[in-house]
A and B are shown apart, each in its own frame.
Chain A
Amino acid sequence: MGEDGENTKINHSFLRDYVTEADVISTVEFNQTGDLLATGDKGGRVVIFQRETESKGESEELGESGEYNVYSTFQSHEPDFDYLKSLEIEEKINKIRWLPQQNAAHFLLSTNDKTIKLWKVSERDKRPEGYNLKDEEGRIKDISTVTSLRVPVLKPTDLMVEVRPRRIFANGHTYHVNSISVNSDGETYLSADDLRVNMWHLDITDRSFNIVDIKPANMEDLTEVITAAEFHPQHCHLFVYSSSKGTLRLCDMRDSALCDKHSKIFEEPEDPGNRSFFSEIISSVSDVKFSHSGRYLLTRDYLTVKVWDLNMEKGPVETYQVHEYLRSKLCSLYENDCIFDKFECVWNSTDSVIMTGAYNSFFRMFDRETGRGVTLEAWRESSKPRAVLRTRRIYTGGRRRRGDVGVDSLDFTKKILHMAWHPAENIIAIAATNNLYIFQDRVNAENM
């Protein structure tokens, strides 16, 4: 196979299917079936990809399931200006979340720093023809020329994808929105900024409920901010939010209207041996995700990903080192601000593999059963279409193999911050700056 022998179990052959040039991608999200993949970019645009459903011949076993092609593109947010504070509001899309599909149309929420929008994505493949009052081009006819009445008929037409804004949830946030999460009840969703978490009803735009507020009376006393929040996948009353101090708070909305008091707080005691001035910064959680089962939480801090059991608050049940070799470089990374990079993390469909990004266009996958990790690269030069993803190694001492990358030659501008895993299959979408990579698991019979 040509792969690194240590990690045969999860080192399936991934094929690069699709690469596209766009603005810097700032979020990636599959919908609940995985047929649609949405990306948001810094320019406020959303691009939706759709998976081709036709397989080419008997390709199921070879994993040649459909490719993802552009389905629709639209401008979600525009640059804005806050006149009161004389501040610009970026149009960058921070997060996209799909709503569960209820009819033929698809709905998604997209948000920038301040405003959340609900978009309806629908297809139109018919159009009415034969109006009485309008002619073919749509111009109003002169009534005197109408001599008979006819009933307009629907004629098939080329497929058109229409995207329309259905709701605009504005003015709910003073600080920058970092997360949105759709509730399992199908009616509400939460949005979180640095200091507050609000709950909205999807049909009501002029009101939202504030469910968490950690703003201190005196802003000078501010030492902790909210970094991410998510609803539990099954329990509509539970949600979790993470903080810049590395804590996770699970809140139950049945307890009180304002969930300032957490039901559970997940915190790992500090390791005194590793303490430095950067300890707090690197403990800041950049992303939190419930497992599909709802039993576990996945968090990402600067150097590790951790799996937490909801039943155990005193510490994570699993910790994986993403790039421990950076620990001795923290001062430089603080200087160039890389230490503040916010990496996302994702579960696979069965919660058995977790994935997160790193620098140098690398991303890491960890098999929870074996505890082993593998480093993969999303880099156009080294992968052609249908090529097999090569595992990479960082050289940190010992015997140096060919192809090993030295820590000092890592490119810190090439960071993989955003990614998504198909909800049912082993298909991953990786955003590498302005490129989108989609890798599919080419299940090899021999390998399994």
Chain B
Amino acid sequence: MFSKGTKRKFSDGDEEISAESLVGARVASSYSLQRQSLLDMSLIKLQLCHMLVEPNLCRSVLIANTVRQIQEEMTHDGSWHMVTEAFCNPGQSPSERLVATEVLCRSREQDAEPKLFSVISYEGCREEEVVADETLCSVSVSDTVSDVCLAGRMGQCWEKSELSGVERDEEALEDSSLGSGEDEEIDTEDEASTKSPKTTGQVFGTFEIKNGSPGPDSALEELFSDVDTSYYDLDTMLTGMQSAPKMGPYDLLDSLAPSHSSPTIVSTPKCRSDLNELDHIMEIIVGS
């Protein structure tokens, strides 16, 4: 793995020697900012090349591999954990969470009323898979189980939303994460069924803003103390590192989620059939 303090290759040589005199945390966060920005850039590139009439397969594969690399590293770092944890603001009661959800899920013109607990899920996309139970939902905020919801989203999202829908997602993320004011892309809407990706985009936009928030809170730990995530972690380890995770970079386009493979593996058969559909869609996309 990279030692954050010494990693320079990423930047354009902008990081001067003075960076070494910074506190380690600052260097680390600057590194993760750069890494995040690279991830965003890559995801946008991927979506752009899906828009092209004849996507250059080599370029797509190389970008996808880059995304995979970043995602793996962020998994090892636990940055994804931080990202998802950012949601479980310990001070919030469940109802507050719902309100937050509502705010987060509110978005584009076509969005229906925000679904409860859809903070991780895709708006309007497979209500049947929305975790209705509040308890489960709170569990869902943890990085692993949340991915179950995401996994469930995956196939359907591919089905419902067209590619440019996914792109909107990307742009939303990019906007929020980079904190820049570019919103021109978000407004151009083609597909009707792009609510969910956009929602998630906004959702993850919020993630980004909270990225720097402090680590786990004791109240949070308490809340989840009885949840045994070891199985999921093991799965993450095993599947995340082997081949391209089932929720690979193409899924990232959709979810912008940590692509722990575990949710895919432990998820319901419904998710599996979604993945088959995903494969099918992917085949069409890459023109096989």
A223 contact set on B, CB distance < 8 A: 61, 64-65, 68, 244
Contact status B248-A88, CB under 8 Å? no
Q: Which of A87, A276, A340 contacts B54 (CB 8 A)?
A: A87
A309 contact set on B, CB distance < 8 A: none
- Given A87-B287, A340-B59, A219 contacting B279 (CB threshold 8 A): yes
Partner-contacting stretch, out of A230-238, A323-331, A357-365, A409-417? A323-331
B62 contact set on A, CB distance < 8 A: 244, 280-281, 284, 340
B250 at interface (Cβ–Cβ under 8 A)?
Answer: yes
What 0/1 pattern do residues 151 to 190 of B give for CB contact below 8 A with A?
0000000000000000000000000000000000000000
How long is the Cα–Cα vector from A219 to B64 in the complex, in angstroms? 12
Contact status B38-A277, CB under 8 Å? yes
- Given A218-B279, A331-B11, A225 contacting B65 (CB threshold 8 A): no
Nearest-neighbour CB distance to chain A for B148, whole angstroms, equals 19
B282 contact set on A, CB distance < 8 A: 219-220
Contact status B246-A220, CB under 8 Å? yes
Nearest B-chain residue to A81, judged by Cβ: B53
A-B pair number, CB within 8 angstroms: 95
A332 at interface (Cβ–Cβ under 8 A)?
Answer: yes
How long is the Cα–Cα vector from A335 to B66 in the complex, in angstroms? 13
A222 contact set on B, CB distance < 8 A: 61, 286
B279 contact set on A, CB distance < 8 A: 218-220
| Chain B CB within 10 A, most for which of A85, A219, A227, A244 | A219
Contact status A174-B287, CB under 8 Å? yes
What 0/1 pattern do residues 275 to 287 of B give for CB contact below 8 A with A?
0001100111011
B224 at interface (Cβ–Cβ under 8 A)?
Answer: no
B237 at interface (Cβ–Cβ under 8 A)?
Answer: no
List 21 A-B pairs, Cβ < 8 Å: A85-B284, A88-B54, A174-B287, A194-B58, A195-B57, A219-B282, A220-B244, A223-B65, A225-B58, A276-B10, A277-B66, A277-B70, A278-B9, A278-B66, A280-B62, A280-B66, A331-B10, A331-B38, A334-B41, A335-B41, A340-B56
Query: Besides A219-B282, A219-B288, A220-B279, 19 other CB < 8 A contacts?
Result: A87-B287, A90-B54, A174-B288, A176-B57, A220-B246, A220-B248, A221-B244, A222-B61, A223-B68, A224-B61, A225-B57, A244-B58, A277-B35, A277-B66, A278-B66, A281-B62, A284-B58, A327-B9, A330-B9
B38 contact set on A, CB distance < 8 A: 277, 331, 334
Contact status B57-A175, CB under 8 Å? yes
How long is the Cα–Cα vector from A231 to B12 in the complex, in angstroms? 40
Within 8 A of A (CB), among B11-42: 11-13, 35, 38, 41
Contact status B66-A219, CB under 8 Å? no
The B interface is mostly helix, strand or loop, or mixed, namely helix
B59 contact set on A, CB distance < 8 A: 337, 340
A280 contact set on B, CB distance < 8 A: 62, 65-66, 69
A215 at interface (Cβ–Cβ under 8 A)?
Answer: yes
How long is the Cα–Cα vector from A194 to B35 in the complex, in angstroms? 29
- Given A194-B57, A225-B58, A331-B38, A175 contacting B287 (CB threshold 8 A): yes
Residues of chain B touching chain A, judged by Cβ–Cβ distance below 8 Å, are: 2, 7, 9-13, 35, 38, 41, 45, 53-54, 56-59, 61-62, 64-66, 68-70, 243-244, 246, 248, 250, 278-279, 282-284, 286-288
A274 at interface (Cβ–Cβ under 8 A)?
Answer: yes
A29 at interface (Cβ–Cβ under 8 A)?
Answer: no
Nearest-neighbour CB distance to chain A for B138, whole angstroms, equals 31
In the A-B complex, list the 9 residue pairs whose CB atoms are closest, starting with the nearest.
Answer: A276-B9, A194-B57, A328-B13, A340-B59, A225-B58, A281-B62, A219-B282, A88-B53, A219-B283
Contact status A89-B54, CB under 8 Å? yes
Within 8 A of B (CB), among A315-349: 327-332, 334-335, 337, 340
A56 at interface (Cβ–Cβ under 8 A)?
Answer: no
B288 contact set on A, CB distance < 8 A: 174, 215, 219
How long is the Cα–Cα vector from A222 to B35 in the complex, in angstroms? 23
How long is the Cα–Cα vector from A221 to B243 in the complex, in angstroms? 7
How long is the Cα–Cα vector from A337 to B52 in the complex, in angstroms? 14
How long is the Cα–Cα vector from A113 to B65 in the complex, in angstroms? 24
Chain A contact-residue range equals 35 or more
A275 at interface (Cβ–Cβ under 8 A)?
Answer: yes
B10 contact set on A, CB distance < 8 A: 276-277, 331
How long is the Cα–Cα vector from A227 to B56 in the complex, in angstroms? 11
A85 contact set on B, CB distance < 8 A: 284, 287
How long is the Cα–Cα vector from A85 to B284 in the complex, in angstroms? 8
Contact status B58-A328, CB under 8 Å? no
How long is the Cα–Cα vector from A378 to B257 in the complex, in angstroms? 48
B66 contact set on A, CB distance < 8 A: 277-278, 280-281
How long is the Cα–Cα vector from A223 to B288 in the complex, in angstroms? 15
A330 contact set on B, CB distance < 8 A: 9
A194 contact set on B, CB distance < 8 A: 57-58
How long is the Cα–Cα vector from A398 to B280 in the complex, in angstroms? 56
How long is the Cα–Cα vector from A276 to B53 in the complex, in angstroms? 31
Nearest-neighbour CB distance to chain B for A372, whole angstroms, equals 27
Nearest A-chain residue to B284, judged by Cβ: A85
How long is the Cα–Cα vector from A194 to B287 in the complex, in angstroms? 11
B246 contact set on A, CB distance < 8 A: 220
Contact status A340-B58, CB under 8 Å? yes
A332 contact set on B, CB distance < 8 A: 12
A221 contact set on B, CB distance < 8 A: 243-244
What 0/1 pattern do residues 261 to 286 of A give for CB contact below 8 A with B?
00000000000001111101100100
How long is the Cα–Cα vector from A175 to B60 in the complex, in angstroms? 13
Nearest A-chain residue to B61, judged by Cβ: A225
B12 contact set on A, CB distance < 8 A: 328-329, 331-332
Nearest-neighbour CB distance to chain A for B182, whole angstroms, equals 15
Nearest A-chain residue to B245, judged by Cβ: A220
